[in-house]
């Protein structure tokens, strides 16, 4: 779906223009032309690139998925590919947004996510750009670019908050008593009740770690992509828009720092979980070994008196059998008391 809007310096807005009139709209230099494409088809891309005289390499980039943010420069226009990230129940997912812009125009191509998520909604961008125009009194493609990036980067902090909440929940499960943890897991939504608690916690940790690695790959390159714009290497982006883009750049830096902090916390939680699992395993082995030692001594006495040799001591004695049982019971009791004092049982 293609929507065309034209913003005049006087403050007027031409909404829902006919995409067939794009060529005539480009001839006016006193207005900003915004072409928004939702879930673009190859035919849409070919049509727009021909109308705007886009470089053939840019056309190739638009037809292929860009998993990492990057800025490509051509003759008189630029292509900025970014990832709009969202946090859902299954983890972090993203959807591509391509911003192709030149002097007096900007084309936004919003694509659906890899897991079937709908394209990035544009309503917030429209409202925020209208508010920015009223406050600053300018119509500049740099401001529209800033608004797009600001909306996308703001969602980075929503993801950081969601990751922090999930990490805290996992940490609570790590330091819960195993029986208490199972009762808590059984009441959770979407958690398989037949999966052991330790395995489920480990799977959640590794899944979240994998999501954080992919999330950082989608956020961190955005710093390098914004650098040419901040260095004022693009003539048609005004100084006021550059100031706003610097604010976006600072937010990107904060998002990257938060992702690194969360990765460190996740690594610490994983180490703590594995240490607790190992400690519980050691306790089980210690108890099993202690009970094994108790049974071995009793088995030894029973084995000696069960060899059935002719000249066995106390073989014909009336109290030989009770004595053997008493010896086994006494040894077992002494070992049990010894292990209990040492906290092995």
pLDDT digits (tens, 9 = 90+) for 248-302: 999 999 999 999 999 899 888 888 888 888 888 887 888 888 888 888 888 887 7
- Beta-bridged to residue 78, according to DSSP, are 73, 101
Distance of CA 312 to the CA centre of its chain: 74
Question: Residue 28: what pLDDT?
Answer: 65
* Cβ atoms within 10 Å of 113's Cβ, excluding its own: 18
C-alpha–C-alpha distance, residues 99 and 339, integer Å: 71
Tell me the CB-side half-sphere exposure of residue 72, using CA atoms within 13 A.
19
Q: Looking at residues 9-34, what average pLDDT do you find?
A: 74
Name the percent of the chain lying above pLDDT 90: 16
Give the model confidence (pLDDT) of 205-215 as tens digits: 888 988 898 88
Where helices occur in the chain by DSSP H, the ranges are 22-26, 42-52, 56-63, 123-136, 141-174, 178-186, 197-219, 221-230, 239-304, 320-341
Higher pLDDT, 31 or 344: 31
Tokens of 131: 């508010």
Question: Residue 109: what pLDDT?
Answer: 92
* Residue 234: pLDDT over 70: yes
The whole-model pTM stands at: 0.76
Tell me the CB-side half-sphere exposure of residue 325, using CA atoms within 13 A.
4
Tokens of 28: 């006016």
Q: For the chain, what is the mean pLDDT?
A: 82
Full set of structural domains in the chain with CATH: 2-277 (3.30.460.20), 281-341 (1.20.58.340)
* Residue 33: pLDDT over 60: yes
Question: Residue 178: what pLDDT?
Answer: 53
Question: Residue 152: what pLDDT?
Answer: 93
Tokens of 85: 């990230």
C-alpha–C-alpha distance, residues 87 and 161, integer Å: 10
Question: Residue 24: what pLDDT?
Answer: 66
Q: Select from 211, 319, 337 the least CA-distant residue to 266.
A: 211
* Residue 34: pLDDT over 80: yes
Question: Residue 90: what pLDDT?
Answer: 79
Give me the torsion for CA of 234, 58, 217, 109, rounded to 10°: 90
* Residue 102: pLDDT over 70: yes
C-alpha–C-alpha distance, residues 111 and 201, integer Å: 34
Question: Residue 312: what pLDDT?
Answer: 67
What confidence tier does 149 reach under pLDDT thresholds 50, 70, 90?
very high
182, 163 Cβ separation under 8 angstroms: no
Give the model confidence (pLDDT) of 301-327 as tens digits: 777 777 766 666 666 677 777 777 888
* Cβ atoms within 10 Å of 336's Cβ, excluding its own: 16
Give the model confidence (pLDDT) of 51-60 as tens digits: 888 888 888 8
Q: Looking at residues 30-35, what average pLDDT do you find?
A: 84
C-alpha–C-alpha distance, residues 250 and 146, integer Å: 13
* Residue 171: pLDDT over 50: yes
C-alpha–C-alpha distance, residues 149 and 132, integer Å: 14
C-alpha–C-alpha distance, residues 234 and 145, integer Å: 13
* Cβ atoms within 10 Å of 38's Cβ, excluding its own: 18
Report DSSP letters for 171-240, one per residue.
Answer: HHHHTS-HHHHHHHHHTSTT--TTS-HHHHHHHHHHHHHHHHHHHHHHHTHHHHHHHHHHTT--TTS-HH
C-alpha–C-alpha distance, residues 6 and 9, integer Å: 10
Tokens of 285: 């082995």
What is the distance in angstroms between the CA of the first residue and the CA of the last residue of the chain?
70
Question: Residue 189: what pLDDT?
Answer: 40
Q: Looking at residues 33-52, what average pLDDT do you find?
A: 87
C-alpha–C-alpha distance, residues 100 and 106, integer Å: 6
């Amino acid at each position: 779906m293609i929507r065309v809007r034209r913003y005049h310096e006087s403050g007027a807005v031409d909404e829902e223009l006919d995409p067939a009139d794009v060529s005539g709209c480009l001839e006016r230099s006193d207005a900003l032309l915004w072409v928004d494409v939702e879930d673009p088809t190859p035919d849409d891309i070919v049509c727009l690139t021909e109308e705007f005289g886009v470089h053939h390499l840019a056309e190739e980039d638009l037809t292929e998925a860009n998993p990492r943010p990057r800025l490509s420069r051509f003759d008189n226009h630029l292509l900025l590919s970014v990832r709009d990230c969202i946090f859902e129940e299954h983890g972090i997912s993203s959807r591509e947004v391509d911003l192709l812009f030149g002097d007096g125009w900007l084309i936004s191509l919003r694509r659906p996510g890899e897991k079937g998520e709908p394209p990035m909604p544009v309503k917030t961008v429209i409202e925020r750009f209208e508010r920015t125009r009223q406050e600053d009194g300018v119509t500049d493609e740099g401001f529209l670019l800033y608004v797009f990036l600001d909306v996308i980067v703001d969602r980075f902090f929503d993801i950081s908050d969601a990751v922090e909440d999930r990490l805290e929940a996992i940490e609570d499960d790590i330091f819960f008593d195993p029986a208490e943890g199972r009762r808590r897991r059984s009441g959770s939504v979407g958690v398989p009740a037949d999966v052991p608690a330790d395995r489920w916690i480990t799977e959640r940790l590794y899944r979240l770690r994998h999501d954080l690695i992919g999330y950082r790959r989608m956020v961190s390159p955005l710093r390098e992509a914004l650098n040419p714009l901040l260095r004022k290497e693009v003539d048609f982006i005004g100084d006021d828009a550059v100031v706003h883009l610097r604010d976006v750049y600072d937010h990107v830096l904060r998002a990257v720092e938060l992702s690194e902090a969360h990765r460190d916390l996740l690594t610490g939680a994983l180490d703590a979980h594995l240490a607790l699992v190992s400690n519980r395993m050691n306790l089980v082995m210690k108890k099993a070994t202690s009970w094994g030692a108790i049974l071995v001594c009793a088995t030894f006495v029973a084995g000696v008196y069960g060899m059935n040799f002719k000249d066995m001591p106390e073989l014909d004695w009336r109290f030989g059998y009770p004595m053997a049982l008493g010896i086994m019971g006494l040894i077992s009791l002494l070992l049990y008391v010894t292990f209990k004092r040492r906290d092995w049982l």
